[in-house]
Amino acid sequence: MIRKLASEALGTFWLVFGGCGSAVLAAGFPELGIGFVGVSLAFGLTVLTMAYSVGHISGGHFNPAVSLGLAMGGRFAWSEMPFYWVAQLVGGVLAALLLFVIASGAPGWTPGGFASNGFGALSPGGYGMMAALLIEVVLTAGFLIIILGATSTKAPAGFAPIAIGLGLTLIHLISIPVTNTSVNPARSTAVALFAETGALGQLWLFWVAPLVGAAIGGLIWTGLLNAPDPADTPSSVAKAT
């Protein structure tokens, strides 16, 4: 279990440091800024690289919503989920702390939103609460369907991290203007702790919506899309990645 939790903490650290770091350190650079397309790709690459690196150890969740969705889909033990959530939060917060220390080394730098998520005044496009809630639920559900499908024993072996990483990239391309894209409560919590905005006050939505979406995605996969297969055990996710 220690190896699993360490892998989850490391993977979530990499996701927050790489994905949010690309937004905080690189996206707004006047001449070399990567823009929201680059940030979207960075998030996808963090998951792709860590899924290949440590996915065989822990299953490569790096996200409390993914852990819940996999449990709903029968691929993950419910008893392990609280421990995974703690490891994911620890990894995410450590990454945000390190990112904060590095970013503060620039002259005149202020945290501002610090890549946090939000709606209303905190939405990049000014989208309201209902729009934020809906898009986070729908995209997290879609993300879980991608994960459950790509890691099924019926799917081509060895390609799951690519599908999952590209899926997360697509999700960011769609929803950065709406919420700055969460679909991951650990990612949202980590950076909200350091933001100078009211991100903490809106953090509840970025727990509720991804968890609801993950549960829906897990139910859709198990109830509508997946034919029962004894090989799809909780360990099959790790083997597929």
Instruction: Count other C-beta atoms under 10 Å from residue 98's C-beta.
Output: 14
What's the confidence (pLDDT) of residue 236? 45
What is the rounded average pLDDT of the residues 185-206? Answer: 96
Count of residues in the chain: 241
pLDDT > 90: percent of the chain: 80
Q: Which position has the token pair 């490391």? A: 10
pLDDT at 238: 46
Looking at residue 200, what DSSP letter applies?
Answer: G
Give all domains of the chain, ordered by start, each with its CATH number. Answer: 2-240 (1.20.1080.10)
φ and ψ at residue 188, rounded to 5 degrees: -65, -45
Say whether pLDDT at 237 is over 60.
no
pLDDT tens, residue by residue, 1-13: 999 999 999 999 9
Q: What is the pLDDT of residue 155?
A: 82
Mean pLDDT of 157-178: 95
Q: Which residue has the tokens 């890549």?
A: 115
Three-state SS for 44? Answer: helix
Average pLDDT (223-233) is 64
**Model confidence over 101-112: pLDDT tens digits?**
999 998 988 999
H helices of 127-225, in order, are 129-150, 160-179, 185-192, 205-220
Over residues 124-145, mean pLDDT: 97
